[in-house]
Structure 1
Amino acid sequence: MKTPNRDLLVLVKDDHLSEAAMENELEQLNQLLFHFETIDNFCVAHEVFDMNRYKVIHTARHIRKLVHQKELEPFVFICNKN
């Protein structure tokens, strides 16, 4: 599996972790993120506010279509449901 190029800030409580143990922790974290950061999970966690049509879009198919566009229309916002 190719490791994604990302910056992670990991706070460790134990000062006595070896370099190999830290690498193992980071690899496990990358594997978890690889499985959870999918377009399906993104569509579940977000919704689109289309202020041009006064609509809130919840369907995964429409959100996926909007996310893959090069540019969003003006006044179309992708918002996290959290």
Structure 2
Amino acid sequence: MKRNQRRDLLVLLNNHHRSQEAIDHEVEWLHELLYHVEELENFCKAHEVIDLNRYKVHTKTGKVKLAVLRKDFKAFEFINNKN
């Protein structure tokens, strides 16, 4: 996997008897998992925009994506995790 090799991960293991191959497999699995979680589309599905200027909550992924990618932030507009 070559997508994001510059990621810093701290992996704490509770078992000293794992082989280096097993540890490498675990780290590779974490890279793959984090790649999918950190995609913009998945981020926008898990968040909503609360706009207190207009008293609206935007849950559609397109509106959330526009708010996240905007360079200038509006006052009283918040990105909230749905969880």
- Give the TM-score, by structure 2 length: 0.83
Gaps of at least 5 residues in structure 2 are none
Give the gaps of 5 or more residues in structure 1: none
Match of 2:43 in 1: 42
Please list, as runs of the form range in 1=range in 2, the aligned pairs for 1:61-72 lying within 5 A after superposition: 61-72=62-73
Aligned residues: 82
**Pairing 1:1-82 to 2, within 5 Å after superposition:** 1-82=2-83
Is the Cα–Cα contact under 8 Å of residues 58 and 64 in structure 2 kept in the other structure?
yes
Q: TM-score w.r.t. structure 1 length? A: 0.84
Displacement after TM superposition at 1:20 (Å): 3.4
Q: Which 4+ stretches in 1 moved above 4 angstroms? A: none
> What percentage of aligned pairs have identical amino acids?
45
1:36-78 deviation per Cα after TM superposition (whole angstroms, max 9, x unaligned): 3211211111011101111101111111011111131011000
